[in-house]
Amino acid sequence: MPPHTSLIHYSAPEVAAKAIEALNGQELDNRKLHVREDRSYLDSAEGVVVFVGNLPWSVTSEALQELFKEYNPLDVHVKTNMAGRSRGFALVKFTDAEVAGVAITNLNGYQLEGRPIQVRFDRQQAEAGEGEGVGNGGPVGGLTDRVTLTNLAWTTEEGELVSLLSKAGTVVGVEIQRHADTGRSKGWAIATFASRDEALNAINTLNKTVVRQRPISMKFYSTTGGRRT
């Protein structure tokens, strides 16, 4: 913790919001106080934060947790004002940029109670430079011979992807990620190439190719978070 700072814990977010509004800018011993919400639990080096906007006012953290549960978020927090009412946005924390990217691809524009929600990397964390590739589309954890493909149609099969990716190089294997209980596609896959250069060529030449009426997104697979199961 930086010098001349302290953390105060409140019983509820709305109580903390009232304290911030009442005390920020006040003077104590001839020094102006700066009072704000603590973000250290979100901005730590471990994890990637995603911004979720245009939320219906009725959506709670619990409801949003249910929507994102497939992606195993570490934390879901709908921001509220001092009266405890939603401010229309939330912050969701994931283990790594790979999982966060899949959630963004699959849920950005999702209709929630009649409103298309906005899902993107949190700009405040991206501007702080936490994690190469966060917010700027760059590779995470360095170049590898594996590529992640997202925004897949649920009916897409491995053979289709192998045929497409073979245009860029030798494909060692393609694995569509599926739900263990139903076998239904999760909408993303991992492709392994014979070399890193061939993986890079696939990203450069085939990214946004339309497969089953959906433009697939391709980027290097994260080497920091491991394979998500």
pLDDT tens digits, one per residue of 125-143: 554 443 333 333 333 344 5
The reply to whether 50 and 122 lie within a common domain is yes
Tens of pLDDT, residue by residue over 134-188, are 333 333 344 578 899 999 999 998 888 988 999 998 887 788 888 877 778 889 9
Compute how many other C-beta atoms are within 10 angstroms of the C-beta atom of residue 105: 18
14 plus 62 within the same structural domain: no
175 and 209 in a single domain? The answer is yes
Name the pTM for this structure: 0.44
Burial (CB count within 10 angstroms: exposed 0-12, middle 13-18, buried 19+), residue 78 = buried
CA 24 to chain centre: 31
Q: Which domain holds residue 165?
A: 146-220
The pLDDT of 188-200, averaged and rounded, is 86
63 in a domain, yes or no?
yes
Half-sphere exposure of 23 (CA within 13 A, CB side): 14
8 vs 136, more confident: 8
The pLDDT of 60-77, averaged and rounded, is 93
Copy the structure tokens of residue 121.
């990397």
Look up the CATH number of the domain holding residue 116: 3.30.70.330
**Co-location of 118 and 45 in the same domain:** yes
Question: Does the structure show a pLDDT above 50 at 43?
Answer: no
Alpha helices (H) in 151-190, listed in sequence order: 158-165
Q: What pLDDT is attached to residue 13?
A: 57
Residues 55 and 29 in one domain: no
Residue 165's pLDDT is 93
Are 102 and 162 within one domain?
Answer: no
